[in-house]
Amino acid sequence: MPAAPTILFAGDLVGGLGRRTLLGLLPSLRERYAPDFVVVNGENIAGGLGITPKLADELFAGGVDAITLGNHTYRRQEINAYLDSGKPIVRPANYLASQPGKGFTIVEKGGVRLGVVNLSGNLHLRAGRVAFLEIDNVLAELDGKVDHVLVDMHAELTSEKIAMGWYLDGRVTAVVGTHTHVPTADLRVLPGGTAYITDVGMTGPRGGVLGVKKEQSIQSLRTHMNVRFETSEDDPWINAVVIRCAEQPRRAAAIEQVLAPWRPAPAAGSRF
């Protein structure tokens, strides 16, 4: 592995379609971008809310190196023990220390060590501690143990994510925003050498509303009544970024957006 590895980070995988989209496109993405590390946000993978051990294992078996989560971390109770099993899956570091899981993990390939950190925004999301204080503790713990650091800032407000990018500029390799499911156009390498994007976007059904069947979302907005949301199956896309690390530790050389449709092969026996 080169001293300056490449990281592929895929935005929020939504439902089974999001999982299939990632795994279906990953071979061609590996051929095109040659990522050394593959990291995904998987907090919406189980029917649009949460993640299960079975689904996490499927991602790992498919070539994912680390999974980040967010505000739906604990939607499925069966994930709680899994988060403490030592697998490279992380929940926001600024959750309560008493809650299952850890906020960072270290994955290593070819002698290169990548620290993967998950943070939750504090504005409009429920997090037990202040993200801007907790990240200092995490970086102190990672000091001397990693070559590069990727931070997934899972937050509602663009302002909070942008502020975190500036706060960590020159201290981590990349700060990637997740949660809002819509890719932003502000990706860049900040002056201190940190790759940044406010939101990577969503891997899953672009034909829905943030992953939900569009008819159900529209009905809810029109009637102001409770509507049972289901994951859309329309127009699957991957939203991701490729981060080219610099040879200097905790610095990036470039960040590139990956927005691509997935067209699964027709089922056996299909006429189309």
Q: Residue 236: helix, strand or coil by DSSP? A: strand
Look up residue 114 and give its amino acid.
L
- DSSP letters of 237-257? EEEEEEEEE-SSTT-EEEEEE
Residue 89 and residue 61 in contact, taking contact as beta carbons nearer than 8 Å? no
> Which stretch of DSSP H or E encloses residue 52?
none
The Cα–Cα gap between 103 and 200 comes to 20
- The catalytically annotated residue of 72, 148, 154, 181 is 72
* 72 annotated active-site: yes
| Alpha helices (H) in the chain, listed in sequence order | 15-33, 53-61, 79-83, 131-142, 158-168, 214-223
Is residue 27 classed as helix, strand or coil in its secondary structure? helix
Residues marked as catalytic: 72
